[in-house]
Structure 1
C-alpha cells in the first residue's frame, strides 16, 4: 500500500511538472515556426495562438505524451528504493532508466512535430519518424552535439557563479580560513543556482535548434521565402558535413548542390 501511494504521489508530481515543461517546449516550437514560415501559415504559430493551442486543442496531446514519461519516472523512483535488495531490482531499474531517456527524447521531437502540424501525439510521432526515415536524417539526429554543448555551457556558468561567490566571500570576510564551511556552502549553492538558471535558457535553445531541424525536414523552401541567407548557409553546411544524406534526402533536386 505504501508503494502504491508513493507511486501515485510521484506520478501526479511528475505528470504536472513534465506537462508544464512540454507546454513551454510546445510554445517555443511555435515561435520558431512563426519565424520560419510566412503569411497565413505563420499566423497559427503566433505567441497568442500557440499559448491558446497549448491549453486548449493541443492540451490533450501534451498531457497524453507527458503521461508516458511520468509513469516511467514514477516507477523508476519507487524501484530505486529496492534496487539494493536484489539483482533483479537493479536490472529493472536499469531498464526503466533506459526507457525514461528514450521516451523523453522521442517526446521532445514528437511535440515539436505536433506543434508545427497540429496532429495528435501518436500520429505526430509516427509522421515524424516516417519523415526523417524518408529524408535520411536519422544519422543527423544521432550525431547532434547540441545537447552536449549546451550542457557544458550550463556547467561552465555554474562554475563561474561558484567562483564569483567564493571570491566575493573571501574578500568580504576578514578571516576566511576560520569560516571555511559557510564559504563552501555558499559556493555550492551559487553553483546550483548558476546551473539552474542557465539550464532554463539552454533548454529553450535546445527546443529552438530541434524545431529548426524539423522545419527543415518539413519545408525548407519556406525558409527561402523568409530568410534566404539562412537557407543558403544551412544547405551549404548540410552538403559539406552530410553529403550522402543531402543526396538521398529528396531535396537535391530543389536545391542545387552548393559549391564547397
Structure 2
C-alpha cells in the first residue's frame, strides 16, 4: 500500500494541473499557427483565382497582416475551441453508445456544443476566409451553396485526404530507412545497441512524418479552396487562367458528369474537345 500525506497528494494534483495546461498551451499554439498557415494559403489561392481589384484583398501581404491583426482573435478562438471541445466530443460520442441515463444527459448537455463544432470545420473556415462572413453564417452559406450545386456527394467522395495520409506515412518510413542506412554506414558503433537503433529509426520516422504533414496540409488547403472558389465564381477563373478552367471543366465532365450537369455549369462550360 502507498501512503501519501496531504501535501504529497497536493503536489501530485498540482503537477497534473500544470501538465494539463502545458499540453493544452502546446496544442493551442500548434493549432493556431496551423490555422494561420491555412488562412494564408486560402488567401493565396484566392489571389490566384479572382481577377483585378478583387484579388488585392487576398494578397500574401494583406493576408499575413489580417492573420496577425483583425483575424488573429478568431483564429485563436477557433483553435482553442478545437483543442478543448473536440476531445470532449470524441469521448462523449464514445460514451453515447452506452444506452443509459447518464449518456442521455451528456447528449443533451453537449448538443449545443456539437452544433457549435459544426461551424469550425475546414470547409467553413475556407468559406469564411474568402467571403469575410462569420463562422455560423459561413457554415450555413457553404451548406446552402453546395446543396444548390449538388456537390455534397462530391465532397464525401474526395479521397485526397486519405491519399495524403498514406503519402505522409510513406515519407516517414522512407525518412527512417534512408537516415538509418546513412547512420549505419557513417557511425556504425552507435547503432549496435538495439534500443538506440529503434529510437533513432522512430525519431527519423517522426521527423519525416512531420515534414510530410506540413507540406500536405498546405496542398489540402489549396485543393479545398479550389473546390469552394469553383462553386462560388468559376467565371473568375475564366478571366485569370482560362486554360486551367478548361482542365477543371474537362475533369468534372469526366468524373462527375451528373453532378456537373445538375449544378448548371455543364451548359456554361462545354466539355473541351481537345
Q: Same fold (TM over 0.5)?
A: yes
Superposed, 1:1-260 pairs within 5 Å as 5=17, 9=21, 12-73=25-86, 75=88, 103=117, 107-174=121-188, 178-259=192-273
Report if the CA contact (8 A) 1:58-1:118 is conserved.
no
How many residue pairs get aligned? The number is 248
Stretch deviating more after TM superposition (181-190 or 1-10): 1-10
Q: Write out per-residue CA displacement over residues 99-151 of structure 1, whole angstroms, 9 at most, x where no aligned residue.
A: 99x94895211111111111111111111111111111101100111111111
CA distance in 1, matches of 2:185, 2:147: 58
Question: In 2, are the aligned partners of 1:61 and 1:121 still within 8 Å (CA)?
Answer: no
Whether the 8 Å CA contact 1:30–1:116 is kept in 2: the answer is: yes
* Distance change (3 Å), C-alpha of 1:12 and 1:122: farther
**Normalising by the residue count of structure 2, what TM-score does the alignment of the two structures yield?**
0.78
Structure 1 residue 35: deviation in Å? 0.6
Q: Which stretches in structure 1 are left out of the alignment for 5+ residues?
A: none
1-structure distance, mates of 2:139, 2:232: 14
The structure-2 alpha-carbon separation of the partners of 1:250 and 1:64, relative to structure 1 and needing over 3 Å to count, comes to farther
- Distance in 2 (CA, whole Å) between partners of 1:158 and 1:56 is 35
Larger-Rg structure: 2
SS at match of 2:121: helix
Contact 1:36/1:215 (CA < 8 Å) preserved in 2? yes
Q: For each residue in 1:184-235, what CA deviation from the matched residue of structure 2 results, as whole angstroms up to 9, or x when unmatched?
A: 2111111111001111111111101111111111111111111111111111
Cα distance in 2 for partners of 1:184, 1:216 equals: 47
The more displaced of 63-72 and 148-157 is 63-72
Distance in 1 of aligned mates of 2:197 and 2:25:
37
Work out the CA distance in 1 between the residues paired with 2:20 and 2:192: 47
Deviations 1:31-58 (A, max 9, x none): 0001111100000000111112223333
Give the root-mean-square deviation of aligned CA atoms.
3.4
Give the Cα separation in 2 of the matches to 1:166 and 1:116: 44
Change (3 A) 1:65 1:177: closer
Q: Name stretches of at least 5 consecutive residues in structure 2 with no aligned partner.
A: 1-9
